[in-house]
Amino acid sequence: MLSAFVVLMVVNLHFQKIDESWCGVALEESRIFATTFASNEKDVFRSLLRELPYNTIFQVVQENDSLTKEILRAIEATIEGRDVSFCFQFTMNRLSSYAQRVLRLTSLIPTGYTTTYGGLAKVAGGSPRSVGRVMATNPFAPLIPCHRVVAADLALCGYGGGLTTKWNILRKEDRNFSRVLEVKINGKTLKLFPITMLRPNKIFAK
């Protein structure tokens, strides 16, 4: 007689206040299921819960291991505009292939630069609006930096944490670069615009 074994997914939720920000991560074993940040613990907890599929078993873990501490420090460093290098593994199998493609492209935008929704669409396929939908539901902010994606006229728009938060992160990331970069990806070109090109009078235009 054959026995059927069901492997249940358990997601561990970790959150911690680092300086003035609460940072959170949901981990499935050693892979990142979701990340987030907010001004308070309750919003971080709610944000992580929203990313869990229905009936997911989860637990809040009070003690953080070395990997978790590294991830939380990377989140805090990103929102503070510091240069961050990491090689974390992200769990994306619950996302559409299109969303995965857009998020992987977004992860290539370096500190000090932005790109546009239309620019990502030219490389990933789809439309600027479809890219915007992926950015709006990015489960890995700010490590996959959707805050570095702006409108075609380089105005800020569409950020779940609010445009003030988006601009605060970007201005901290400004490295005074002046040259537009062109990155070749699968035979297509993604343009990267330095943060210095964002015009203050357009930041809150939308």
Active site positions, annotated: 146
Is the Cβ–Cβ distance between 103 and 144 less than 8 Å? yes
Cα distance between residue 72 and residue 75, in whole Å: 5
Residue 66 CB-density burial (10 A; 0-12 exposed, 13-18 middle, 19+ buried)? exposed
β strands within 30-100, DSSP E: 31-38, 57-60
> How long a stretch of residues is the chain?
206
Cα distance between residue 127 and residue 18, in whole Å: 37
